[in-house]
Amino acid sequence: MLFKQQALLRQKLFVLGSLAIGSLLYLVARVGSLDRLQPICPIDGRFGPHGQDEIPLRALQFKRGLLHEFRKGNATKEQIRLHNLVQQLPKAIIIGVRKGGTRALLEMLNLHPAVVKASQEIHFFDNDENYAKGIEWYRKKMPFSYPHQITIEKSPAYFITEEVPERIYKMNSSIKLLIIVREPTTRAISDYTQVLEGKERKNKTYYKFEKLAIDPTTCEVNTKYKAVRTSIYTKHLERWLKYFPIEQFHIVDGDRLITEPLPELQLVEKFLNLPSRISQYNLYFNATRGFYCLRFNIVFNKCLAGSKGRIHPEVDPSVITKLRKFFHPFNQKFYQITGRTFNWP
Ligand code: A3P
């Protein structure tokens, strides 16, 4: 009996000891990796819409903790009143382009202490049913924020949907509009890959990209194929320019956001009149993912979901050449209108 108890005690001690050693090893590893990090993100500086407000540090902690809870609808009325929280209409919208890197852009901007993101794509302006629910419905979909913070939402379908520019204009004619673009052929293949994956998930078969992108009767580029049409950026932008001057748009280079995100984010900070707060500390390259991931602080970091960064199927090089030739004149026009030139072939 006594022997059994002693054995049990030894077992317990062994488990506890292992746990303690494990925790210690984890801490050592953590500190080791911290040594290699760059200086702590300067998050407690002065800034605000007029340059004189100061965001209390409390606000920043809030943003990651309580605000997250509130977004899930758990805020009590008392908490909202106490912290002066509001649900604000967006001051900036990422209107597209689908597969341009819209999620990465939104998540990375959300690293900025003055930015609060709407987590879901709201599809207010492109979906008639949602639009009919009215602007208050839209506002109520927004996360809680401090009055000096700006809310950003992204719904990439806005860029290509006919009715959207007028509807957004009616809400706020001075809103800032962000468009993230990628080399058009790559974007079209990425678009195809997403649809293909959806079909495969449902055990359905699907056409090859080549078959969709090239009209088999004419052997020309099939402009009826949505993935091709979406990549004719200039056509869509021209519709937007009937409502908003070009100064209200900022074009983000989605290809560079993948390889070198910080300078792209700094350009957006400038466009949004925000002080530069996102630093290299906030972005680290994750070799396993093959992408930059986000670091909010010592304990909280995250990579985008696996659905971002899919492996594209191989596409016949002659089809790629044909598509690139097709997009070329539209790209030239796009550079001309936006004043931003890309090295697209
Ligand atoms: P691929 O899946 O073709 O690689 P969107 O969010 O608009 O759907 O865009 C998805 C694209 O974002 C992905 O396309 C991916 O290349 C790109 N992207 C940019 N930065 C990324 C990041 N840090 N992590 C994952 N994907 C990123």
Residue 123 placed within a domain:
yes
Confidence band of 79 (pLDDT split at 50, 70, 90): confident
State in Å: Cα 210 to ligand 1 middle. Answer: 22
Any idea what the Cα angle at residue 335 is, between residues 187 and 332, rounded to 5°?
80
Residue 173 placed within a domain:
yes
- Residue 182, marked binder: yes
Residue 191 placed within a domain:
yes
Residue 35 placed within a domain:
no
Type of residue at 164: V
User: 296-343, pLDDT tens digit by residue?
Assistant: 999 999 999 989 999 999 999 999 999 999 999 999 999 999 999 999
Q: Please tell me the distance from the alpha carbon of residue 17 to that of residue 35, in angstroms, as a whole number.
A: 27
Nearest to 85 by CA among 151, 175, 174, 155: 151
- Does 5 score more than 70 pLDDT? no
Q: Please tell me the distance from the alpha carbon of residue 281 to that of residue 81, in angstroms, as a whole number.
A: 34
Residue 64 placed within a domain:
no
Q: What is the mean pLDDT of residues 113-127?
A: 96
Please tell me the predicted confidence (pLDDT) of residue 77: 73
- By CB neighbour count within 10 A (0-12 exposed, 13-18 middle, 19+ buried), where does 12 fall? exposed
Q: Please tell me the distance from the alpha carbon of residue 175 to that of residue 164, in angstroms, as a whole number.
A: 13
The catalytic site residues sit at 99
Which residue segment(s) compose the domain that 116 sits in? 85-338
Residues 6+ apart with CB under 8 A from 240: 95, 159, 165, 177, 249
Please tell me the predicted confidence (pLDDT) of residue 84: 83
Q: What is the mean pLDDT of residues 246-254?
A: 98
Structural domain total, the chain = 1
Q: What is the pTM of this model?
A: 0.82
Residue 289 placed within a domain:
yes
Atom of ligand 1 nearest to the CA of 194: 2
Q: What is the mean pLDDT of residues 203-212?
A: 94
Q: Please tell me the distance from the alpha carbon of residue 331 to that of residue 232, in angstroms, as a whole number.
A: 8
Atom of ligand 1 nearest to the CA of 102: 7
Residue 68 placed within a domain:
no
Q: Assess whether the C-beta atom of 292 lies below 6 angstroms from ligand 1.
A: yes
Q: Assess whether the C-beta atom of 156 lies below 6 angstroms from ligand 1.
A: yes
CATH code of the domain containing 193: 3.40.50.300
- The encoded tokens of residue 134 equal 């009215």
Confidence band of 59 (pLDDT split at 50, 70, 90): very low
Please tell me the predicted confidence (pLDDT) of residue 9: 62
Atom of ligand 1 nearest to the CA of 254: 19
- Residue 119, marked binder: no
- The encoded tokens of residue 237 equal 């932008």
At 150 the three-state DSSP class reads strand
